[in-house]
Amino acid sequence: MWTRRETVAGGALTLLLGGTPRCACAADPRAPRSFGCFLADTDFDAIYPAGTDTRAFISGDEPMIPKSGDVDFDLALAQTLAKLSDALNVLPGFAYYDDYDGLNAYATRRSRLERVDGTVLMGIKLLQRLRKGLESPEVAVAAVTAHEFGHILQFRHSLIDTVNAGQANVRKSELQADFFAGYFAGLRKRERPSFPAAVVAMTQFGFGDNNPGNRNHHGTAQERGAAVVRGFESSFRDNKNLSDAIQESTTYVLSL
């Protein structure tokens, strides 16, 4: 489970991010038909203009899109994206975009690459904010990308309509994506015991909100942190395979 050191590290990250940041998957005036982290096809070109570089990461040796300015970080992120693809059995394209009007990240079914499962878009300003973390900022970035890869997994298995049926907001599908981020953290913890898994939970905790009347409501801080922990336990403690984790995550969010 979480170590004392991990809990302290996560708390420091939450303090850094603050209580109410404009966060990943917030409403974006450029994407009026999009809700939560799901970028609608009709909003794709407004968010992701022509010419932006896109890559898929299979081995982790592929060169990262040059946006961070840190070669070591870029290499680590490329390897993380490859691990996410393997762990969640998806292969989205990955690109950066200019989130000048608010920290954001998206998953979309649209793609500019052949034979991939949609696209994950990371906002440059969100990336910069996460990288200012006091401890394990690379894991904070991994937390957000894992959440977006979780949405790609939902697309592939047609889970979004199932978990959001009858709901006034996207809370349940967002919490399921948090579950998948936790599932990935548990796999990394099994592979490398020193992996600071609590930073994943606390990153999503820091992006919680208290606006259930908003269509973009992602869940409270407590709900988001708890969903990550539940996913973590599914892989780390219970050693569930991906198919069983998908079923557990669906049952979990439908019970909320």
Mean pLDDT of 91-105: 93
Tell me, what's the pLDDT at 13? 36
Who wins on pLDDT, 80 or 68? 80
Q: Which helix (H) or strand (E) holds 86?
A: helix 71-88
Percentage of the chain lying above the pLDDT 70 cut? 89
Q: Would you kindly state where each structural domain of the chain is located, as residue ranges?
A: 4-254
pLDDT band of residue 133 (cuts 50, 70, 90) is: confident
At 108, give phi and psi (nearest 5°): -140, 150
More reliable by pLDDT, 6 or 256: 256
The confidence score (pLDDT) of residue 51 equals: 76
Question: pLDDT tens, 60-70?
Answer: 999 999 878 88
DSSP letters of 136-205?
-HHHHHHHHHHHHHHHHHHHHTT-HHHHHTT-SSSHHHHHHHHHHHHHHHHHHHHH-TT--THHHHHHHH
Please state, in angstroms and rounded to a whole number, the distance separating the CA atoms of residues 226 and 39.
25
Confidence of residue 35 (pLDDT cuts 50, 70, 90): confident
Residue 5 has pLDDT above 50, yes or no: no
Confidence band of 25 (pLDDT split at 50, 70, 90): low
Global pTM value: 0.90
* Residue of 1, 8, 2, 4 whose CA lies nearest to 136: 8
Average pLDDT, the chain: 89
For the segment 123-136, the average pLDDT, to the nearest whole number, is 90
Instruction: Give the rounded distance of the alpha carbon of 92 from its chain centre.
Output: 13
The pLDDT tens digits of the residues spanning 185-201 come to 999 999 999 999 999 99
Kindly report, residue by residue over 167-182, the tens digit of the pLDDT. 999 999 999 999 999 9
